A and B are shown apart, each in its own frame.
Chain A
Amino acid sequence: METDKFIQADRFAKLILDMSTLLLSSGAHCGRINRNVQRFADTWHFRIDLFISFTGVSVTVVDMNNPENKATSNRQATTHGVHYGILTEISLLSWKAYEEKMSIDEVEKLLSDIHYTPRHNKWTIRLGIGFACAALCILAGGDWINGSIAFVAATTGLIVRQQVMACKFNAMIAILLSAFVTTMISGMDMLYHIGQSPEKTIATSVLFLIPGVPLINSVIDLFEGYIPTALARGMFGGFVLLCIAVGMSLSIALIGVNNF
């Protein structure tokens, strides 16, 4: 059988690290990373001890058939975005490998393809987020005029964020600038009193920046017992919130709306 073939521990550890750092930087919680990786370990009879921190992953693999064959290494995860396409692909790959007893060569090849999972069209995302923020504004109690201003503000804000990120600026600076620009536009609503409830426009048009994934992942990690990552993710989410608040208060101070 193919799975009985000897697999060098170094090579397996490299594969595992590749996978877990990719998962970590596309917004998976630690329980998911552990489960996915464990499936590969079961497939090829390895014992895995994974230590996941927010900034990197460390792993020790031991061959169950040959305990001399073991390795420990670690790797950094630098970016922390959200990409659920990668998450889906890796989960499907892990089940496929587990059920079909794939060889490590095939898995390595498929994993290197997953790195280039296509993203949605830029403009689809921008318009989608615009409509989402407009809908949130109307759900919060604004009328159609407030909603359309929130649409323009959120779309522009997302364009700013993506462009600033593309220039390799710090992610927090991108969020701060984006919140600033968004509030500048939605603040016009407050300034000229267009529509029924202008303060709802200001409050809801920045919601696309809210770090929902890190915050919810933080609570899930708390439930599943990964306390260090839970704290780090909560801290990260809190800091993003702070950046949003600073950007907003800068622009509110500039516009001169002082009843907020």
Chain B
Amino acid sequence: MTDFIFLMFKDAAFAFLVAVGFALLFETPKRVLYVAGLLGGIGHCIRFILLHFDFGLVSSTLAGSIFIGIAGIYCAHKVHTPPVVFTMPACITMIPGLYAYRTMMGWIKIYTDGLITQEPHILQETAYNFILTSSLLFSLAIGICVGALFFRKKSTKEIKLGKTTIIKF
């Protein structure tokens, strides 16, 4: 158990580094760099925990990114910045780079002479990787535009978390 907690913190710490690095690449303003790092760390940590309990790759990623989206709306009010500025680098920590890469490598490899006899499943594997990549990408995008999807408001500034809002008909 102690081992698992250590691994959890290690995962969050490395995801923090990844999110800050990508936030620098995307020119996120300096004052919100740490928000991107924290969201990325916690989101990736949630995904790690769910993966450990066998929830499946896509649903764990969806949970992590929805957490990032909702926490991002809260942070946006605190630091007065549009949420996409830090939720995007935070979600990039979970980008399916490995699978996207395998998909592309598969497409390039297919034409090699005699490969069909050596690796008869290559087309199937490539299609599998492609579908996995796009599902993961969709779950990340759902996390980022969670404000527009769940709260029926166009702008994040109109969403108030933790306060009851009266809906007028």
Residues of A within 8 A of B (CB): 27-29, 31-32, 35, 82-88, 91-92, 95, 119-120, 124-125, 128-136, 138-140, 203-204, 206-208, 210, 212-213, 215-216, 219-220, 223-224, 241-242, 244-246, 248-249, 260
Q: Is there an interface contact between B24 and A245, defined as CB atoms closer than 8 Å?
A: no
26 contacts between A and B (CB under 8 A): A32-B84, A35-B155, A83-B26, A85-B28, A88-B29, A91-B81, A95-B157, A124-B24, A125-B24, A129-B21, A132-B17, A135-B15, A135-B18, A139-B44, A206-B101, A208-B22, A210-B95, A212-B22, A212-B88, A215-B137, A220-B144, A220-B145, A224-B145, A245-B105, A248-B101, A249-B105
Q: Provide the residues of chain B in CB contact with A210, threshold 8 Å.
A: 95, 97, 100
Q: Is there an interface contact between B104 and A208, defined as CB atoms closer than 8 Å?
A: no
Q: Provide the residues of chain A in CB contact with B157, threshold 8 Å.
A: 95
Known contacts A203-B102, A249-B108; 15 further A-B pairs (Cβ under 8 A): A29-B84, A32-B84, A84-B84, A88-B82, A124-B24, A128-B25, A129-B25, A131-B20, A204-B97, A208-B21, A212-B22, A213-B26, A216-B91, A223-B145, A260-B105
Q: A85-B29, A88-B81, A244-B104 are in contact. Are A31 and B24 (CB under 8 A)?
A: no
Closest A residue to B24 by beta carbon equals A128
Q: Provide the residues of chain A in CB contact with B24, threshold 8 Å.
A: 120, 124-125, 128-129
Q: A216-B141, A245-B108 are in contact. Are A31 and B154 (CB under 8 A)?
A: yes
Q: Is there an interface contact between A131 and B17, defined as CB atoms closer than 8 Å?
A: yes
Residues of B within 8 A of A (CB): 11, 14-15, 17-30, 44, 80-82, 84-85, 88, 91-93, 95, 97-98, 100-102, 104-105, 107-108, 137-138, 140-142, 144-145, 148-149, 154-155, 157
CB distance from A141 to the nearest CB of B (A): 10
Q: Provide the residues of chain A in CB contact with B22, threshold 8 Å.
A: 129, 132, 208, 212
How far apart are the CA atoms of A242 and B23 in the complex, in Å? 24
Q: Is there an interface contact between A203 and B97, defined as CB atoms closer than 8 Å?
A: yes
Q: Is there an interface contact between A132 and B21, defined as CB atoms closer than 8 Å?
A: yes
Q: Provide the residues of chain A in CB contact with B138, threshold 8 Å.
A: 219
How far apart are the CA atoms of A117 and B131 in the complex, in Å? 39
Q: A132-B18, A139-B15, A216-B137 are in contact. Are A27 and B26 (CB under 8 A)?
A: yes
CB distance from B6 to the nearest CB of A (A): 14
